């Protein structure tokens, strides 16, 4: 009962009793009647006082909570190592030809597709002129070689009848060989000019992001001049430095949970490489963990914490992640303990813990105080919702897990209904095809 309401009730009953007594006394009513009325008023006051006393002894109402179950599982210890995300590829795209930049259709931050996205276009004027010159030079050398070969044949005929000197024949043969080499050089120049003509449009070499634009429209570029810098996307590496005492416990292919500090999320990756050459000063060895970039959310340079598996598996207490509350005194898990009276509602008791690491959406914990070691066991009910409404240790609890079960049941029924709809639709399609 509300304490304020009971106090007001006592006050008004007392006032009414006093007022009735005064009125009756003023009217000259008999003393017996006055005493009877006063007695009834005092009885009402006593009842109100008892209600107030009972309300003060009753205390706050029970807290409504939902619970999960703690489990004792064999898990492998984790060691947290900080690091940063690193791109798989980074390339400074350069021009292979000389000319004026006609168009730069990408900007910093744009996403590019390897083999498709145009990074820049170069003016073709000078390359086309070079091609014409190379083709003209080729035609000239072909004609010159043709005349020299004809002269060589004539000299060889004359030499057979002693009408030409042997030295003249030898010199002509050397001239033909030289002109043939010049002809091949001209052909190569033509092919080079044609190849340059095909490289005036600069295409992204791989999927990624433009992180730096290094030229503008109208700028003159030479072969090797920088156009843009791009980094790959789709996959990123978490590069962490592991202390030497743990490096031999990590192998390529190990599954690793990686905490993305900026996003507050955890993703899973695979150890890609363990570099055998470490730092002499820090006594650490570089380890790369390959991650999916989560649709572009993971960016190179972000800070990460890799939870590397080390040592043998051992028994640990695992609770749902929602069971861990963070307070000024540290992480705490509230449990629904049996009532010490042996009957009645369970009570809420806090257990201060140390959070070790996450595993499969749950948290591996240890009790922070030795006297609480036996409070968290396999099957212990832990509070996953409503713990913030518990005002003190030992407060009675009302456990309401029915709503959770109903939600799960509804979700299961929805999935079944959806499957039935898909099956019915598929059957209808089959009927239509057969009828057609």
Domain containing residue 244: CATH number:
2.40.30.170
Strands (E), 40-144: 63-69, 71-87, 90-94, 99-103, 111-112, 118-122
DSSP character string of 135-149: HHHHHHHHHHHHHHH
Do 283 and 369 belong together in one domain? yes
Burial (CB < 10 A; 0-12, 13-18, 19+), residue 66, is middle
Question: Do 42 and 83 belong to one domain?
Answer: no
Q: Collect all residues with Cβ–Cβ distance below 8 Å to 333 and sequence separation of at least 6.
A: 70, 319, 323, 324, 325, 350, 351, 353, 365, 376, 382, 383
Do residues 129 and 238 share a domain?
Answer: no
Do 274 and 372 have their domain in common?
yes
At which of 199, 221, 245 does a domain end?
Answer: 199
Task: pLDDT band for 55, please (50, 70, 90 cuts).
Answer: very low
pTM of the model: 0.50
Closest CA to 44 of 55, 34, 52, 32: 52
Quick one: pLDDT at residue 52?
42
Residues 420 and 348 in one domain: no
Give the Cα separation of 271 and 10 in Å (integer). 75
Q: Is residue 384 domain-resident?
A: yes
Flag whether 94 is in a domain. no
In a domain, 30, yes or no: yes
Q: Are residues 290 and 426 in the same domain?
A: no
286, part of any domain? yes
pLDDT digits (tens, 9 = 90+) for 361-382: 788 888 888 777 788 889 999 9
| Same domain as 370, residue 264 | yes
Say yes or no: 408 and 396 in one domain: no
Taking only the tens place, the pLDDT of each residue in 145-204 is 999 999 889 888 888 888 878 888 899 899 999 999 999 999 999 999 999 888 999 999
Specify whether 363 is located in the same domain as 427: no
How does pLDDT run across 395-434, given as a tens digit for each residue?
Answer: 999 998 875 555 545 544 544 554 444 434 433 333 333 3
Rg (CA), the chain: 45
Backbone angles phi, psi at 376, to 5 degrees: -115, 110
User: Phi and psi dihedrals of 162, rounded to 5?
Assistant: 60, 30
Domain count across the chain: 4
Residues 330 and 406 in one domain: no
- In this structure, the number of other CB atoms found within 10 A of the CB of residue 347 comes to 21
Residue 217 resides in a domain: no
In a domain, 107, yes or no: no
CATH number, domain of 167, equals 1.10.287
Domain that holds residue 46: 3-58
- Structure tokens given for 34: 């006055």
In a domain, 99, yes or no: no
For the chain, first and last CA: distance in Å? 75
Q: Kindly report, residue by residue over 95-135, the tens digit of the pLDDT.
A: 988 899 999 999 998 999 999 999 999 999 888 999 999 99
244 and 361 inside one domain? yes
> Do 249 and 269 have their domain in common?
yes
Residue 274 inside a domain? The answer is: yes
pLDDT at 276: 85
């Amino acid at each position: 009962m509300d304490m304020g309401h009971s106090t007001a009730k006592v006050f008004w009953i007392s006032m009414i009793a006093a007022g009735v007594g005064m009125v009756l006394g003023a009217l000259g009513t008999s003393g017996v009647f006055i005493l009877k009325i006063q007695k009834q008023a005092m009885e009402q006051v006593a009842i109100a006082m008892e209600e107030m006393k009972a309300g003060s002894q009753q205390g706050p109402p029970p807290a409504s909570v939902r619970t999960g179950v703690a489990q004792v599982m064999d898990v492998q210890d984790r060691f947290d190592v900080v690091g940063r995300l690193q791109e798989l590829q980074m390339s400074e795209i350069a021009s292979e030809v000389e000319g004026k930049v006609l168009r730069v259709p990408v900007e910093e931050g744009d996403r590019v597709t390897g083999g498709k996205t145009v990074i820049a276009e170069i003016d073709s004027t000078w390359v086309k002129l070079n091609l014409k010159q190379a083709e003209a030079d080729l035609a000239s050398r072909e004609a010159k070689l043709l005349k020299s070969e004809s002269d060589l044949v004539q000299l060889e005929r004359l030499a057979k009848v002693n009408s030409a000197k042997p030295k003249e024949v030898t010199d002509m043969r050397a001239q033909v060989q030289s002109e043939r080499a010049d002809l091949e050089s001209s052909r190569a120049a033509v092919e080079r000019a044609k190849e340059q003509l095909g490289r005036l449009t600069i295409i992204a070499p791989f999927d990624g992001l433009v992180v730096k634009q290094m030229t503008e429209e109208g700028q003159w570029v030479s072969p090797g001049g920088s156009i843009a810098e791009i980094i790959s996307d789709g996959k990123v590496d978490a590069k962490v430095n592991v202390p030497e005492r743990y490096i031999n416990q990590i192998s390529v292919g190990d599954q690793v949970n990686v905490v993305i500090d900026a996003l507050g999320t955890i993703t899973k990756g695979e150890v890609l490489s363990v570099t055998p050459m470490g730092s002499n000063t820090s006594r650490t060895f570089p380890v790369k963990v390959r991650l999916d970039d989560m649709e572009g959310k993971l960016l190179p340079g972000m800070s990460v914490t890799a939870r590397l598996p080390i040592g043998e598996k051992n028994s640990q207490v695992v609770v749902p992640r929602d069971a861990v509350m963070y307070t000024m005194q540290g992480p705490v898990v509230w449990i629904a303990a049996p009532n010490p009276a042996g009957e009645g509602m369970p009570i809420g008791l806090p257990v201060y813990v140390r959070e070790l690491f996450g595993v499969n959406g749950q948290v591996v914990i240890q009790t922070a105080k030795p006297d609480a070691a036996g409070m968290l066991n396999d099957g212990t009910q832990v509070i996953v919702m409503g713990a913030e409404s518990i005002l003190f240790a030992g407060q009675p609890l009302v456990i309401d897990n029915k709503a959770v079960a109903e939600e799960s049941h509804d979700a299961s029924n929805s999935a079944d209904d959806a499957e039935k709809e898909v099956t019915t639709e598929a059957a209808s399609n089959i009927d239509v095809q057969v009828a057609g």
